[in-house]
Chain A
Amino acid sequence: MPSELINNYFRTETLPHIWCPGCGNGIVTRAIVKAIDNLNIPKDDVCIVSGIGCSSRAAGYLDFNTLHTTHGRALAFATGVKLANPKLHVIVITGDGDASAIGGNHLIHSARRNIDITTVVFNNSIYGMTGGQYSPTTPMGDKATTAPYGSIDPNFDLCELANAAGATYVARGTVYAVNILEKVIQEGISNKGFSFIEAIATCPTYYGRKNKKGSAVDMIKFLKEHGVMYTAWQKMSEDEKIGKFPIGKLYTKERKEYTEQYQMLIDSLGKESNQ
């Protein structure tokens, strides 16, 4: 029997999903739904926009206004949706390749504008849908079908990228630390501005197998052992940080939100022409 959450928020007629056994995408998708449920946002007021890749298929399974776009362009479509109707809560579901390779330009510019969109990147460090090629977040040295000798490409820290580009809420969660993931997504949706959440997911089928990371359970265990709450992380020495990564809320800042600025422009011109 599906849970109440599934019944309420998933289009059960579109299930089962396409994801492999052990894939972390379902956990992240559920966390998004739980965050929306916690916030009591009516389903009609939520618009989920996704790109192309395994994670982006989530849009089709969810009972909201859903837009499954082209590869890399979810944020560009989402910008149009949000600016056209600022009342909608726009949430972008995207993968590491979708968001930071082909869609990298839209990511930094959405952050720069501080448009009120919450982006959740399902980061599994690999292109899963096409069968395991290296992405901008594949750790240097790791193998992929297109990096048979180990990748020589340095990898992005997506949270640092989003923060530097101007996102006003930046956080990281993992498919192990589900409560934290839910919490940061919830905070991200509540933030009036561009929120960026990196959800570290697992791909045992391609990334895991290629790099001898063990079973899905082993991969999740790895996340448990290496993800450190940001408060603790800040107290760690540089040596202690090696091989670990911070999770939880990382950065927040105060900036003007884009669609509000545009509305103020419209209002000021309206006043001008009324005079």
Chain B
Amino acid sequence: MAELKLMQGNEACVMGAIHAGMRFYSGYPITPSTEIAELSAELLPKYGGKFIQMEDEIAGVAAALGASLAGLKSMTATSGPGFSLKQENIGYGIMAEIPIVIVDVQRSGPSTGLPTSPSQGDIMQARWGTHGDHSIIALYPASVKEIYTTTIKAFNLSEKYRTPVILLLDEIIGHMREKIDLEELKNIEIYDRKKPTKSDDKYLAYKVNDGDIVPEMPSFGEGYRFHVTGLVHDETGFPSNNESVADKLLNRLINKIEDNKQDIVNFEEYLLEDSEYAIISFGAISRSSKVAVDKLREQGIKIGMFRPITIWPSPEKEISELSKKVKKIYVVELNAGQYFLEVQRIVSGQCEVRKYGKINGDIIVPQEIISFIKEDIYA
């Protein structure tokens, strides 16, 4: 029997997280993500989990990393300004291979910007916010139901690849309420980190066993007494200045994500089969783009939409294939053209790429996309 509910996007994020096994949340209040903290505070102790409001954004992500090492699936949520503050420790999570989920409910920036206005301005911050060379997983759902399922996916990927996973939301999908059927979401599979079995007396905390993608991960207090550091380290986990150790580690951290795109990358294709034109759009704005596609088709323009749900690593193969099929790709995003740069890089001249963006705090409505594309095609 259907279990229908009107649910807010931020609420669906918490419900999905708890479904995925989140038992620890630490964060700092910031609009428009605050409902995620509030609901976590209410629900986690009822599930035997822990919630803590930390003294700042940095402590929010740091405590979540600590709790994950102690064995609890952990999450923190924030918005642009807080996301900036968390970046150093996101890098720590990447380096030390600690699974956590960081939710960024994007708002208009830079700086304090328009705190209650929507934006998709953190696409590149999600990719390159922390310093140094690294790969990252960032997911971006577009509906309340998809926020629920994608939050679970974020946890699963973070556990499977032992890495922080960024869940991008925006003010629009974070705050809107939509119908969701909890019954049909009941049986989503959950992935838990693989733990070592205590037989090896020469335990190496950062050794990847044959056939595995990442090192097995025990929790603090389970008898392994391993060392965790943000310094370059070898298989023992202890710091090393050796160049070949650094080379091996940093490439392994990048490749565990880049080599597994097949498993990580998720996207939606909408009416692309016979398309001569394509829109690339994500999050709330993909909903405007979808309406625009329908209306443009009514007017005889063969157009479709490609929606990356996995923003990083980008669906390189799929976008490249698309660019061989269509005359032109329009990247429609609520920023000044961030993913546009990635699409341009992937397409590298195989078709024309144009951008449509906005940075004044307003949403992009279908009519402006329609006008832009028609003008462009008939110009």
| Residues of chain A at the chain B interface (Cβ within 8 Å) | 11, 13-14, 43-45, 47, 49, 59-60, 63-70, 73, 76-85, 87-88, 105-106, 108-109, 262, 265-266, 269-270, 273
Contact in complex: B45, A262 (CB < 8 Å)? yes
CB pair B70 A73 closer than 8 Å = no
11 contacts between A and B (CB under 8 A): A43-B225, A47-B70, A64-B225, A66-B226, A77-B62, A77-B66, A79-B66, A80-B62, A80-B66, A106-B55, A106-B59
Contact bitstring B26-68, A, C-beta under 8 A = 1, else 0: 1000000000000000000110101010111011001111111
Q: Which residues from chain B sit less than 8 Å from chain A, CB to CB?
A: 23-24, 26, 45-46, 48, 50, 52, 54-56, 58-59, 62-72, 74, 88-89, 92, 219-231, 236, 238-239
Query: What DSSP secondary structure best describes chain B's contact surface?
Result: mixed
Q: Chain A nearest CB: distance from B270 CB in Å?
A: 41
Task: Judge whether B69 and A79 touch: CB under 8 Å.
Answer: no
Cβ A73 vs Cβ B89 within 8 A: yes
Most chain A beta-carbon neighbours within 10 Å: one of B24, B92, B225: B225
Q: Give the residue of B54, B65, B219 whose beta carbon is less than 8 angstroms from that of A85.
A: B219
Is the Cβ of A269 less than 8 Å from the Cβ of B46?
yes
Q: A81, B62: Cβ atoms under 8 Å?
A: no
Asked if residues B225 and A84 are in contact (CB atoms below 8 Å), the reply is: no
Tell me how far the C-beta of B298 lies from the nearest C-beta in chain A, rounded to whole angstroms: 52
Report whether over half of chain A's contact residues are helix, strand or loop; otherwise say mixed.
helix
Complex: A49 Cα to B228 Cα, angstroms? 9
CA distance A44 to B198 in the complex (A): 14
Given A60-B239, A69-B92, answer yes or no on A76-B71 (Cβ-Cβ < 8 Å). Answer: no
CA distance A234 to B189 in the complex (A): 64
With A and B bound together, what is the CA distance between A85 and B70 in angstroms?
6
User: Which of A43, A70, A270 has the most B CB atoms < 10 Å from its CB?
Assistant: A70
**In the complex, A64 Cα to B225 Cα: how many Å?**
5
User: Which 7 A-B residue pairs are closest in the complex by CB-CB distance?
Assistant: A80-B66, A80-B63, A76-B62, A84-B70, A84-B67, A76-B59, A80-B67
Q: Is the CB of B229 within 8 A of A68?
A: yes
Is the beta-carbon distance between B70 and A44 smaller than 8 angstroms?
Answer: no
Q: Is the CB–CB distance between A79 and B238 below 8 Å?
A: no
